[in-house]
Amino acid sequence: MSNPLITAAQLSQALSEEPPPVILDVRWSLNGPPGRDGYLLGHLPGAVYLDIDADLCGPAGSAGRHPLPEPDALQEVLRSAGVREDSTVVVYDAGDNLAASRAWWTLRWAGHADVLVLDGGMARWLAADGALSTATPEPALGDITVRAGGMPLLDAEGAARLASEGLLIDVRAPERFRGETEPIDPVAGHIPGAVNVPDGPNLAEDGGYRTTAELHARYTPLGAEDPDLPIGAYCGSGITATRTALAMTAAGLPTPAVYIGSWSNWVADPSRPVGTGE
């Protein structure tokens, strides 16, 4: 898989060419405020706003807090945003690559190959003196067809199997992994057999990713370069794990399968085992 990241300078150049990429603003925060508020105050020229919860995920429930959307619903959203079969799509968020990673992963899962993430999002765009707009575009209807299955995906059974037969990475903070605290879900702990590699250290101070070499060095000691080692990742609800998947892909490593339901789905079934401690 080619490098899925684009810099502010590269995007600025791409926007001056024909046809320009489709730009999706997916700013989002788990605890608010709504990303649309920031979009209305200023966004990249031509960007269309999509909401992670309402547009790019299905309804929360036993499948997890951020399950996959129904393909037909996602197709309608993407066509309304102007995404065509031959579009280059660039997604961005406020700067921590979190929502943008989930958007990238979802579009790739939907079968659209040409998707890039603006590394460092709005923060790096502004640092590079990138232009902003307050105009709300009205793109022509796109013709994308969603073909689900474009990215490796895990369910609970697959995650449990990977934890015992391969490498299952828990990307949450160490205290959540150890079961010392759980700020969101009803049960604390981790999937037995998982290895804790927190996602946070992948980020530079401004929120974008660290260098490719630094990202590579975090995962190669785990055997991530081994093409025969099955690798998966999970988090609390299937968003932060996609940021790890993007980081590993950008580092030139195999893209891990993502357990989209993640911990929020795992603990929905009280019969599933829970690990604590290291």
Catalytic residue numbers?
235
- What is the DSSP-derived secondary structure letter of residue 95? S
> Are 87 and 116 a contacting pair, CB within 8 Å?
no
Q: How many other C-beta atoms are found inside a 10 Å radius of the C-beta of residue 99?
A: 28
Q: How far apart are CA 183 and CA 181, in angstroms?
A: 6
Distance CA 213, CA 218 (A): 9
Distance CA 122, CA 130 (A): 9
How long is the chain?
A: 278
Closest to 52 (Cα-Cα) out of 245, 206, 246, 240: 240
